[in-house]
Amino acid sequence: MWRMQGGDRVFTKAEWACLSGAVDILRDWIESDIEAGRDEPCSGIAVFDGLTSEQKLLILVETCEALVLPEIPAPDHTAANEATIAAVFSMLQTLIDGEIEMDDGTTMRHALLAAMGGSRTCPPLTRATLASGSCW
């Protein structure tokens, strides 16, 4: 559970499907840092990047569990867990930016649209569809 303005809730399957790729990449980077014995910034979020690699991994796991498992009590909001969520969203933004820059499909954008409850069916986003001003 996570405390929100409208009450405690967990992510929907669509919301988690959208964010899980970003979580996986963050986890991989953090685990690589642990194996190499370093604490490199990985998200651009100062509070999160200021943690040790082991702390990042622990808070990422704890925060994700609270976001997706209804049996986990909603934790108190802290700078660390709020920064962790910000790091996940920052990574999602990076993935979407990369998808656009590399003209590499629309997987992340479609996952985001589904998580937002969108029902519009859009064609694959390419530079050509961007220029045409189609539904994207």
User: Got the DSSP string for the chain?
Assistant: -EEETTEEE---HHHHHHHHHHHHHHHHHHHHHHHHT-----SS-HHHHTS-HHHHHHHHHHHHHHHH-TTSPPPPP-HHHHHHHHHHHHHHHHHHHHHHHTT--SHHHHHHHHHTT-----PPP-HHHHHHT---
Stretch 48-61: mean pLDDT, rounded? 95
More confident residue, 37 or 18: 37
* 75-104 pLDDT tens trace: 889 999 999 999 998 998 888 887 877 776
Which structure tokens are listed for 70? 């209804």
Task: Provide the number of structural domains found in the chain.
Answer: 1
Range of the domain at 25: 2-132
Percent of the chain with pLDDT over 90: 38
The larger pLDDT score, comparing residue 105 to residue 7, is at: 7
Virtual torsion, Cα 97, 101, 104, 106, nearest 10 deg: 40
Q: Extract the tokens encoding 26.
A: 């963050």
Instruction: Give percent of the chain above pLDDT 70.
Output: 85
pLDDT of residue 124: 54
Rounded mean pLDDT, 34-39: 92
Residue-level pLDDT at 136? 45
